[in-house]
A and B are shown apart, each in its own frame.
Chain A
């Protein structure tokens, strides 16, 4: 509640939160089929119509309603983004936590393999995984998760290295607290703030990566609607039907802006140095 209030009070966080809320609503509607038209239905007579009252954002080459497809596309993108970031958070936290806590050889092995993954440009690494496994929704999730796991591992390992030297961890040892207890209560609980910020920012990148993969034809497969795929299909029709490119492009841009603004605001609020929020 306190954090929610702080975000509403934050000048740009407010905008980010509003954008995310609208997108979430659109995504839920799109996913469960509450769209103006069926996103897959082809109205043959109304091909390449500009925006009008019956088709809010116009129609594409096959006479499908762009607005409906966008909503379904947002739903699809959100599922992939949330699933992949969730997976990356889980794996990254476990790896970072164990590497930081145990140190030594385990730390070396874990973090050097993370460095190896980090050395590849994100989209190249994702392409590599998809090339091996073959395209599809599940593959996209795994590929994007693989890209962001090292970042989470690093974000977690740093604080663990300092936390484990803190007096309260020594105090826990003197009580004879188990390692599981120390890791969950003294480590993880203190990692919630940096992780929350990182998750929000990673969601923005994941949205972009997913759109990029779909644009290249390696993410969501047609005819299923996806933001990247829609841009890819509209590319050749840019002259005749610019709205086909503009709307998905704007949707991606606004979504990423929303998550970034939200993430920056969270970082400001959760920073213990920010005034009056020292918890």
Chain B
């Protein structure tokens, strides 16, 4: 039997000299009907370009297929070589036989049309349906991707839906043509873990229902384990390993695959937490947050009246102990970043107290941001960037200061030559090291790490985490580690606080919170973590929506009630 798609020696290049410098250098694979192939790799590995070549969308991004063949079996038994097909033939294939979903569901939906109109369009183009028939088909499609109140949701605009809902709409549109092959390019990367788990479960169900083949692009080994039949690992445009999922995961052959598998932080349910707690007894808090509340008013312009407020952070209380890591975990919109920004004074607290112990310098709390590309001014040299905290503290830029810069740069694994270079000459991981070195310039007591490793590739992420742990003991730092990634948190945290809808719902020692979660949300969060070890388990997906943070004017929440779960472990009482 001929496979659905047979790719041989595919080469793709960009720009005027596409042949000379291919980004994809001879990729070959077969995909049988109804099977799922996962393409795994880090940024720049050519995995997305490979996927975009299969429906030739790569042509619109300036790419060119410079070699190889892609034989696609049509339903009538004929075989089309996509690599050499002309645009008119491809238009008939895209959508109808090969569907695609993208990473960013907001930018792939048109914001000025209702989702109903957009799904109907997909049915009009791919199935020739019109009017009431298209509308009914659109409703069915939404029901098929498990969107509640589908008829009602058809009238919504994309911005009125959550990220997970939008991705469901994208999937509904991709399925409108009943494709025999679905290409999913990092479809859950921009989503929260619990939403990611929902989408993955949905894709697995749909695949079985529709007997559809799938190519799944991801950087996350743990994610593909549950869905893929085959795994193909790519590095710098080449396939380094290909095989059945279990074989690749359990006995990887290539060094890079092994390296990737090791670098991926495995979540072990609290079994892998740090044991190097600083000496007991001197547990003095360096930052004490008591009842922190941050609200952003809505409306209230020149003539408009204030209609309410976004309760971004509501009554958050915790202590950060000297030399320890407190991780704040939660999903987007849970208020974890706002809490961090309030501690640094970047947003004003509406209520509550933040007490910082006088530290070794005038500014005992420093911060490292998520995006290493945005947090360094591109027009300044590393020397100017590193000097900034010292200049702000009134120090002179002299030989001694330069000595400290070189010391810190070398400590984070960069050389002294870096001083004369500009940020764009460094990779993402190196930039984040720069940001860490810069945060240490003033010898702080506390470093707030706001998703500081989230934007990095897994192998880089692992090394930066190791560096952070080393620096912590060497400089006696306390970390406030903001993250959405449970596996990363498990590796670095001594204590964990779980935030949900602006409130801390559970806080305590990392081992206790991660191994015996008490609050329903913590349990849900932990259940959603994709994990290789649990790949054969099936778990029910909870689709409880997050309560709205927008509250009417004058709204005051009930004071929280807590239960002590263990010695250093307490959770909020659920209604």
Q: Using CB atoms and an 8 Å cutoff, list the residues of chain A in contact with chain B.
A: 166-168, 170-178, 181, 185-186, 189-190, 192, 278-279
CA distance A174 to B343 in the complex (A): 10
Chain B proximity of A243: nearest CB distance (Å): 47
Q: Let me know if A172 and B369 touch, CB within 8 A.
A: no
Whether the Cβ atoms of A190 and B379 lie closer than 8 Å is: yes
Q: Which of B105-113, B360-368, B475-483 contacts A (4 or more CB under 8 A)?
A: B360-368
B424 touches A189 (CB 8 A): no
Q: Please, how many angstroms separate the alpha-carbon atoms of A95 and B171 in the complex?
A: 49
Kindly name the residue among B365, B377, B392 whose own CB sees the greatest number of chain A CB atoms within 10 A: B377
Determine the residue in chain B with the shortest Cβ distance to A186: B377
The answer to whether A279 touches B442, judged by C-beta atoms less than 8 angstroms apart, is: no
Q: Is B229 an interface residue (CB 8 A)?
A: no
Q: A189-B379, A278-B424 are in contact. Are A174 and B374 (CB under 8 A)?
A: no
B366: A residues at CB distance < 8 A:
174-175
In angstroms, how far is the closest chain B Cβ from the Cβ of A163? 9
Residues of A within 8 A of B378 (CB): 190, 278-279
Contact of A174 (CB < 8 Å), options: B362, B367, B376, B422: B367
Query: Roughly how many angstroms separate A170 CA and B340 CA in the complex, as a whole number?
Result: 12
B371 at interface by CB-CB < 8 Å = yes
Contact B344–A174 (Cβ < 8 Å) = yes
A176–B362 CB distance below 8 A:
yes
Give the distance to chain A from B19, nearest Cβ to Cβ, in Å.
Answer: 18
The answer to whether A175 and B363 have CB atoms under 8 Å apart is yes
Task: Please tell me if the beta carbons of B369 and A189 are within 8 angstroms of each other in the complex.
Answer: no
* CB of B363 to closest CB in A, whole Å: 6
Contact A185:B367 (CB < 8 A) given known A176-B362, A177-B388: no
Q: Are B346 and A173 in contact (CB under 8 A)?
A: yes
B18 to chain A, nearest CB (A): 14
Bitwise, B388-402 to A at CB < 8 A (1) or not (0) is 110111000000000
Residue B247, interface by CB 8 Å: no
Contact B379 A167 (CB under 8 A): no
B380 CB-CB contact with A under 8 Å: yes
Task: Give the top 10 A-B pairs by smallest Cβ distance, nearest first.
Answer: A167-B375, A175-B389, A167-B374, A177-B392, A175-B392, A189-B379, A168-B377, A176-B392, A167-B369, A174-B367
A177/B377 in contact, CB under 8 A: no
List CB contacts (< 8 Å) of B305-359 with chain A: 341, 344-346
Closest to A105 in B: B302
Main secondary structure of the interface of A (DSSP, over half): helix
Pick the contact of B392 from A168, A178, A189, A192 — CB < 8 Å?
Answer: A178
Q: Is B384 positioned at the interface, with any CB of A under 8 Å from its CB? A: yes
B362 lies within 8 A of A279 (CB)? no
Q: Can you list 23 A-B contacts (CB < 8 A)?
A: A167-B369, A167-B371, A168-B374, A168-B375, A170-B346, A170-B375, A171-B367, A171-B438, A172-B392, A173-B346, A174-B365, A174-B366, A174-B367, A175-B442, A176-B389, A177-B392, A181-B392, A185-B388, A186-B377, A190-B377, A190-B379, A192-B379, A279-B379
How far does the Cβ of A218 sit from chain B's closest Cβ, in whole Å? 41
Q: Which of B346, B363, B380, B393 contacts A185 (CB 8 A)?
A: B380
Q: Which residues of A contact B346 (CB under 8 A)?
A: 170, 173-174
> How far, in whole Å, are A171 and B388 apart by their CA atoms in the complex?
10
- Distance of A18 Cα from B490 Cα, bound (Å): 64
> Does A279 contact B375, Cβ atoms closer than 8 Å?
no
Residue of A nearest to B435 (CB): A171
A175 with B388: CB separation less than 8 A? yes
- Tell me which of B376, B388, B393, B422 has the highest count of chain A C-beta atoms within 10 A of its own C-beta: B388
Contact B369 A171, beta carbon cutoff 8 Å: yes
Residues of B within 8 A of A192 (CB): 379
Chain B residues with Cβ below 8 Å from A190 are 377-379
Contacts of B369 on A, CB cut-off 8 Å?
167, 170-171
Contacts of B393 in A (CB 8 A): 175-176
Q: Which residues of A contact B370 (CB under 8 A)?
A: 167
Nearest neighbor of B375 in chain A, beta-carbon distance: A167
Shortest Cβ distance from residue B269 to the other chain A in the assembled complex, whole angstroms: 34
The closest CB in chain B to the CB of A166 belongs to B374
Task: Give B379-418 as 1s and 0s: 1 = Cβ < 8 Å from A's Cβ atoms.
Answer: 1100010001101110000000000000000000000000
Most buried by B among A168, A172, A176, A178: A168
Closest A residue to B362 by CB, please name it: A176
Residues on B with beta carbons closer than 8 Å to the beta carbon of A185:
377, 380, 384, 388
In the complex, A173 Cα to B347 Cα: how many Å?
A: 11
Please give 18 more A-B residue pairs, beta carbons under 8 A apart, in addition to A174-B345, A278-B424: A166-B374, A167-B374, A170-B341, A170-B346, A170-B369, A171-B367, A171-B369, A171-B375, A172-B388, A173-B345, A175-B366, A176-B393, A181-B388, A181-B392, A189-B380, A192-B379, A279-B378, A279-B422
Nearest A residue to B385 by beta-carbon distance? A168
* Chain A: CB-nearest residue to B448: A174
CA of A82 to CA of B344, assembled, Å: 45
- Return B124 CB to nearest CB of chain A, in Å: 36
Between A171, A176, A185, the greatest number of chain B beta carbons within 10 A of the residue's beta carbon is seen for: A171
How far in angstroms is the closest Cβ of chain A from B256?
Answer: 29
Chain B residues within an 8 Å CB radius of A172: 388, 392
Question: Which A residues touch B377, using CB under 8 A?
Answer: 168, 185-186, 189-190
Chain A residues with Cβ below 8 Å from B375 are 167-168, 170-171
- Interface residue from B384, B392, B424 paired with A279 (Cβ < 8 Å): B424
Shortest distance from the beta carbon of A90 to any chain B beta carbon, whole Å = 20
Kindly report which residue of chain B lies nearest to residue A165, judged by CB atoms: B374
Given contacts A168-B375, A181-B391, A189-B377, contact A176 B424 (CB under 8 A): no
**CB nearest to B344 among chain A residues:** A174
Q: Which residues of B contact A189 (CB under 8 A)?
A: 377, 379-380
Q: CB-CB < 8 A to B424: which residues of A?
A: 278-279
- Which residue of B has the minimal Cβ distance to A189? B379
Cβ of B495 to closest chain A Cβ, rounded Å: 23
**CB neighbours of B376 from chain A (8 A):** 168, 171
A190 to B374, CA, bound (A): 13
In the assembled complex, which residues on chain A have CB atoms less than 8 Å from the CB atom of B367? Answer: 170-171, 174
Residues of B within 8 A of A186 (CB): 377
